Chain A
Amino acid sequence: MRSIIDIPDLSLPELDALMDTAEDIIARPREYQEICRHKKLATLFFEPSTRTRLSFEAAMYELGGSVISVAGADASSVAKGESVADTVKTVSCYADIIAMRHPKEGAARVAAMNATVPVINAGDGGHAHPTQTLADLLTIRREKGSFSGLTVGMCGDLKFGRTVHSLLNALCRYSNVRFVLISPEELKVPSYVKSEALKKKDIPYDQVTDLESVIGDLDILYMTRVQRERFFNEEDYLRLKDSYILTPEKLKKAKSNLCIMHPLPRVNEISVSVDEDPRACYFKQVLYGKFMREALILKLLKEAGTL
């Protein structure tokens, strides 16, 4: 049974095909509105999430399917101590596909091993969140036409930010992409990520601490939130949370066709006044995420023989 735990589970042609499907759904939504009729998606979210759960649910409804859901870990049998394995074995009896978010890293792999229906990892702790990366890829492709020749700036928490590592790894599979990694010393991209993604493939990158000095070189600026939940120490979080704040003032030096992205939710790292700037793409990213989830649900249901 094919499940998607992380982006490397998908080959480059599969990534491209998913983006093609998503573009087709955008262009011809009526062709897809009944395609999952009588099929059920179970959304198991054992950690707080608004947009990802709603995005999965909206995606399934737009495909004509239904959704069954667990409201949160407190309201489920997990609160009584049930294992992930038992939970997904049970849910497999009710649903055709599962989207699961869980605070424990590796929980999605355990789910995929035990479920008898496809599992989509909707985030397992700080480990992986592949559908966010799918949203990011489609946003870049739609905004820029292709990945080749882009200078991609990643800014903020590059140490704990799973979306950054995942997008970095995904973009490294496309040719002729350059990176500028912008973060405080304490939140730099871990060396194992750099060596696996960048150094092995000899992909050019710069590592800097100042956003303003490099903003003019960027085609993509991927901003991230410094996440409180990833810190063991509140003091470190408070010291670093305001490291980079994007304002209209800073954007004056940026290219006119810069694409500003953010996995959301933001706290204060992008000033609200930037939202009116036509270069702000982070709400488009949310929309594209829904279409990519639709494409992924379709792919996995077809591979499972359910569609």
Chain B
Amino acid sequence: MTVDSIQNGTVIDHIAAGGGMKLYHLLELEKAEVPVAIMMNVTSHRLGRKDIIKIDGEMPLNFDVIGYVDPDATVNVIRNGVLQEKKQMVLPTHLKNVLRCKNPRCISGSEQELPQIFVLTDRIHKEYRCYWCETRAAQL
């Protein structure tokens, strides 16, 4: 199976198999106005199997979201068919308006225009908690 190389855009590579669709939804790529390809369970020397997302065109991406879903993913920025930049993701310390607090008693559910903020509280277990009520976010 082949997908054309892109001239200007972004390739999110080395996503652990199964993470591609989660990332697709959290990045809201279903709303993208440029062509997007998602490849799943691609053979990888490093991971065995991996997912890849190719975005053929310019669009803003939230790198915190990519780091949250898979801190081992790499982001390749392509300009005029040439790799211009390779970014290594990291687990972000904060996530703003990415996750929603599931606690029905949390102030973030009722306070006007209060952002949904989650804070990394345990790097080893990849645990995030709501900044407002400290409820633990559901694991991906």
Interface centre among A83, A105, A110 (most CB of B within 10 A): A105
Pick the residue among B105, B112, B134 that contacts A103 (CB under 8 A). Answer: B105
Which B residue's beta carbon lies closest to that of A108? B107
The smallest beta-carbon distance between B56 and chain A, in angstroms, is: 41
Inter-chain contact A126/B114, CB cutoff 8 Å:
no
Inter-chain contact B111/A84, CB cutoff 8 Å:
yes
Give A81-121 as 1s and 0s: 1 = Cβ < 8 Å from B's Cβ atoms: 00111000000000000000011111101100000000000
Inter-chain contact B107/A106, CB cutoff 8 Å:
yes
Which B residue's beta carbon lies closest to that of A102? B107
Report the separation of the CA atoms of residues A102 and B135 in the bound assembly, to the nearest whole angstrom: 17
Q: What is the interface of chain B mostly: helix, strand, loop, or mixed? A: loop
Give B90-117 as 1s and 0s: 1 = Cβ < 8 Å from A's Cβ atoms: 0000000000000101111111101000
Question: Is residue A125 contacting chain B, with contact meaning CB distance below 8 A?
Answer: yes
Question: Is residue A262 contacting chain B, with contact meaning CB distance below 8 A?
Answer: no
Interface centre among A103, A106, A127, A192 (most CB of B within 10 A): A106
Interface residues of B in 58-105 (CB under 8 A from A): 103, 105
Interface residues of A in 173-208 (CB under 8 A from B): 192
- Say which size band chain B's interface belongs to: 10 to 19
Report the separation of the CA atoms of residues A256 and B5 in the bound assembly, to the nearest whole angstrom: 80
Known pairs A103-B105, A104-B105, A105-B106; A85 contacts B133 (CB<8 A)? no
Report the separation of the CA atoms of residues A124 and B108 in the bound assembly, to the nearest whole angstrom: 13
Known pairs A105-B105, A105-B133; A110 contacts B110 (CB<8 A)? no
Inter-chain contact A83/B105, CB cutoff 8 Å:
no
Inter-chain contact A83/B106, CB cutoff 8 Å:
no
The smallest beta-carbon distance between B117 and chain A, in angstroms, is: 10
Inter-chain contact A109/B112, CB cutoff 8 Å:
no
Pick the residue among A83, A85, A103, A105 that contacts B132 (CB under 8 A). Answer: A105
Instruction: Give every chain A residue within 8 A of B103 (Cβ-Cβ).
Output: 105
Pick the residue among B107, B112, B131, B134 that contacts A104 (CB under 8 A). Answer: B107
Give A268-288 as 1s and 0s: 1 = Cβ < 8 Å from B's Cβ atoms: 000000000000000000000
Report the separation of the CA atoms of residues A110 and B132 in the bound assembly, to the nearest whole angstrom: 8
Question: Is residue B130 contacting chain A, with contact meaning CB distance below 8 A?
Answer: yes
Instruction: Give every chain B residue within 8 A of A106 (Cβ-Cβ).
Output: 106-108, 130-134
Inter-chain contact A109/B131, CB cutoff 8 Å:
yes
Instruction: Give every chain B residue within 8 A of A84 (Cβ-Cβ).
Output: 107, 111
Which A residue's beta carbon lies closest to that of B127? A192
Question: Is residue B49 contacting chain A, with contact meaning CB distance below 8 A?
Answer: no
State the A residues within 8 Å of B (CB): 83-85, 102-107, 109-110, 124-127, 192
Which A-B residue pairs are the 10 nearest by beta carbons? A106-B132, A105-B133, A106-B133, A106-B107, A104-B107, A107-B107, A83-B112, A125-B105, A105-B105, A105-B106
